[in-house]
A = this chain, B = another copy of it.
Amino acid sequence: MTTWFSESYTSDVNFTFKVQQIYSAKSKFQKIEVFETKDFGRVLVMDDRIMLTEKDEQIYHEMIVHVPLAVHTNAQDVLIIGGGDGGALRELTRYKTLATIDMVEIDSMVPDVAQEYFPKVAGNFLDSRFNLMIADGLKYVRSTQKKYDLILVDSTDPFGPGESLFTREFYGNCYDILREDGVLVNQHESPYYKSDAREVKSIYEKTISIFPIDKLYQAHIPTYPSGHWLFGFLSKKYDPLRDLQVEQWSALDLETFYYNLDLHRGSFALPNYVLKLIDKI
């Protein structure tokens, strides 16, 4: 049966498209739905928010993975917080130099649904370097003894199950378990709609006091609210532009849908209104 799905960007603004629902369930943490659509292919929706679409999921997953790994080319041990759909994992597994990839996902239903309905996204759960832990991300970073070179905070939004991943305590713990040249990349919400912009500001204010290097970068993700999405590059040592390893990354010869080295540089050039939001001008 064909119906219309709407994601509310604000109480007055909706993004609406025709869907055929092929899966729906309630996990312990959230409502999970899978739709077939004409324009976006399959779409994963959690608590009424689009998590990914087959048409453009590569934009988000490439930007959260290749940006830090084109800078920190010696990274060996990676931690994904959230990311249960497997998309960031897929991009990570393309780097043969990585030794371990740990994922801490709170909701076991997410990897299960992704593997069943999104095989192109979730096709790397059997990689020998990969270790999935179904656990609370905040508790994990609070207690683990392991050190990491790269942490990806691939979370849902700052309400519901992802909420604790936007706290000062969480970021402080991440800082502690990163090696001295470690990098953290977090999905950083959108600067456009008022309540989203407030989150951008709030996340930045928390992280800038913890990480010596904290720079935002952006991507065009048409199926996320406003299409203007931000990521944070938080680092103890490496600068995302000064330390970009052009030759090393090029030598990997990775085929990408969205990312390239010019775009890497360009993505850190933010509009004035976003710079103002984070008090940079």
Contacts and interface: CB of A to CB of B under 8 A. Distances in A.
A213 interface: no
A265 B265 CA distance: 9
B258 A263 contact: no
A15 B8 CA distance: 10
A146 B227 CA distance: 41
Interface residues of A, number: 43
A72 B10 CA distance: 41
Interface in A87-136: none
A220 B228 CA distance: 6
A257 B18 CA distance: 35
A219 to B, nearest CB: 8
22 contacts: A6-B16, A12-B37, A12-B39, A14-B17, A15-B15, A39-B193, A59-B271, A192-B222, A220-B271, A222-B226, A222-B227, A226-B227, A256-B272, A260-B272, A262-B268, A262-B270, A263-B269, A263-B270, A265-B265, A266-B266, A266-B267, A266-B269
Contacts of A11: 38
A67 to B, nearest CB: 13
A261 to B, nearest CB: 9
Contacts of A23: none
A273 interface: yes
Tell me which of A16, A56, A257, A273 has the highest count of chain B C-beta atoms within 10 A of its own C-beta: A16
A166 interface: no
A32 B11 CA distance: 26
Contact of A259 (B222, B226, B272): B272
A256 B273 CA distance: 9
A128 B22 CA distance: 62
A271 to B, nearest CB: 4
Contacts of A56: 192
Contacts of A39: 9-10, 12-13, 193-194
Contacts of A271: 59, 220, 257-260, 263
Nearest to A256: B272
Nearest to A12: B18
A18 to B, nearest CB: 4
A60 to B, nearest CB: 12
A222 B264 CA distance: 21
A237 to B, nearest CB: 23
Contact of A218 (B9, B12, B220): B220
Nearest to A6: B16
A17 B263 CA distance: 32
Contacts of A269: 260, 262-267
